[in-house]
Amino acid sequence: MNPAAADLLDVEADFSSEERETQGMVREFVDRRIRPNIAAWYADAHFPQEIIAEMATLGLLGMHIKGYGCAGKSAVQYGIAMQELEAGDSGLRTFVSVQGSLAMSAIAKHGSEEQKQRYLPGMAAGEIIGCFGLTEPTAGSDPSTMATTAVREGDQWVLQGVKRWIGLASIAQVAVIWAKVVDESGRSRVRGFLVPTDTPGFTATPIEQKLSMRASIQCDITMEDVRLPADAILPENPGLRGPFSCLNEARYGIIWGALGAARDSFNAALEYSQHRVQFDKPLAAYQLSQAKLVNMALEIQKGQLLALRIGRLKDQNRLENHMISAGKLNNCRIAIDVCREARTMLGGNGVTLDYSPLRHANNLESVRTYEGTDEVHSLILGQHLTGHSAFR
C-alpha cells in the first residue's frame, strides 16, 4: 500500500527534511505498534497505556512546547505527527492531543514557573498523565455557562462541580480544571486550577458503552469539596481566553489528524478495489469505483493543502483564530465523508473491524464534535465574514 497515493500534487515534496523525518518516524511507530493491534483494542474498548512510554521517547508528548524536556518541534512537524497517528486511530491521536495540546499547553501558557518545572518534564516523559476539564453536562459549546466553582477559604481553594467527556481523567495524575471564581470586584471569571487526581473529593468515572473512540478514555468527573492550596491556581490569562487558547492548539492538530483517518480509509478502499473481483474484473476497473476514488483523493488533497498552509502560517506567527476554524470545519467534514464513501467500496466486509474506514468514520463523529462542532466553527467564520455575532 502506497500511503501517498492520494497525494496527487506531490504536496509532500514540499516537506523539509526534518518534516519528512518526523513523518517517517511516526509512520513506522504506527505501522509497528498500532496497526497490528487497533482492531482488538477498539473491539475491547482498551486504551493501550503500554505504548505511552514509546510515544514519550519519540517526543510526541507536548512536542510543540519548547523547553522543560519537550521536543520543541515546529507546528508543521506537530501536524504531520498528528496525521500519522490518526491514520492509526483517532483515539490514540486524541491521547497525544489531550496530554500535549490541552493539559501541557495550559500549564505552559498559563502556569507559573514553579508549576511548569513541577509538571511539564514528567508529562513530556509520559510519567505524569494530565487531563483537561472544561466541558460539563450542561455546558458544552457554551462554556461560559459552566457551573463548577472555586471559592477561596483562607489559604485554600475549594472546588465544587461536575465535568463530562474529559479525556484520560481516570488514568491522569493531574487535572487542569476550569472553574468560575468571584474576584475582589465581585466579577465572576473562569480560572484554571491544577488538581492532583488523588485529592479527596475528586472522582473520575469512565464513560462506557461508546460507539466511537473505543480505544480511548473519556470520563465524568465529580468534585465535592476538593480542597487545594492557594498556589494551585494558574496565575496567567484569566477568563475564557485561557481554555480557548488551549482548544486552538488541539483544533490545529485535528486539522491534520482528520486527514490521516481519511487517507487511511482511502488507501484501504483503493487496495481492496484492486483485488476484489466482481463480474469478472476488479472493482477498480469500473467507472463508478474510479469516480469514487478520484473524488476522495481530490478532497484529501485539498484538505492537505489547507492543513499545510495553516501550519506554515502558525510557524510564522501569522495564524488567526478564524483560520483554525476554517481548517477544523473543512477537514473534519471531508474526512468523515471520505471514510463513509470508502466503506461503501468494501461492501459488507466494510462493517467489520478487518477494515478501517467504518472505525475511522465512527471515531470522526467524536472528532467532528469536540473542540468545536461544525455549527460553532460556522458561526466563528460567519462572524469573521459579516462582523456580526450570531451565537446568541
**Domains within the chain, CATH numbers bracketed:** 11-125 (1.10.540.10), 130-239 (2.40.110.10), 241-386 (1.20.140.10)
pTM, 2 dp? 0.96
**10-residue stretch averages of pLDDT, the chain, 392 residues long:** 88 97 98 98 98 98 97 98 98 98 98 98 98 96 94 96 98 98 86 98 97 98 98 93 95 98 98 96 98 98 98 98 98 98 98 98 97 96 97 90
Q: Residue 353 in contact with residue 367, Cβ under 8 Å?
A: no
In this prediction, residue 184 carries a pLDDT of 75
Instruction: In whole angstroms, give the CA distance from residue 42 to residue 359.
Output: 8
SS3 159: strand
What is the model's pLDDT at position 322? 97
120 Cβ neighbours under 8 A, 6+ residues apart: 62, 65, 67, 68, 69, 70, 104, 107, 108
Q: What pLDDT is recorded for position 392? A: 87
- Work out the burial of residue 249: count CB atoms within 10 Å of its CB; fewer than 13 is exposed, 13-18 middle, 19 or more buried: buried
d(CA 335, CA 239): 33
CA atoms of 165 and 217, how far apart (whole Å): 9
Q: Catalytic amino acids?
A: 371
Q: Which of 31, 29, 21, 23 is nearest to 4 (CA)?
A: 23
What is the DSSP secondary structure assignment for residue 233, as one 8-state letter?
B
Q: List the one residue out of 108, 98, 93, 158 whose CA is nearest residue 132.
A: 98
